[in-house]
Amino acid sequence: MIAGIDHFVLTVRSVEATCAFYERVLGMRRLGQPSRPTALLFGSQKINLYEAGRTFEPKAKTPTPGSGDFCLVAAVPLAEVQASLEANGVAIEVGPVERIGARGAMMSVYFRDPDGNLVEVSEYLK
């Protein structure tokens, strides 16, 4: 019944700080449209950003900055992601470490965004 993920929502303290982080560190692209949430585009998916206290309806029952924990699949070798994290002063909390994703074995690194969300970036092993 379900083919994939189109988007998910992060509630953040600052849309500006969040966009700057994801654009700089992970190469995402910001999309701003009138009367719509700001979004971060990557691959064929997006992350909608709701600023705390300025959300859109409908929304999660208790939207809270820093409550996200998600995994993104890298479009480049994981070593390039690690180099970007290092160049931007982002500490890797865990990894690289082997994990099992939806499609099998992968190598992952974990770090935090400006709100403290846990971000996992992975590369599937061949």
Residue with tokens 């590369």: 123
Is 93 considered catalytic here? no
The residues pairing with 46 across neighbouring beta strands, listed in sequence order, are 7, 41
CB 110 within 8 A of CB 94: yes
CB 48 within 8 A of CB 59: no
The residue annotated as part of the active site, out of 51, 80, 98, 120, is: 120
Beta carbons within 10 angstroms of residue 115's beta carbon: 19
Closest-CA residue to 63 (of 48, 46, 50, 45) = 50
Taken in order 10, 13, 19, 24, is the CA torsion positive or negative?
negative
Active site residues: 120
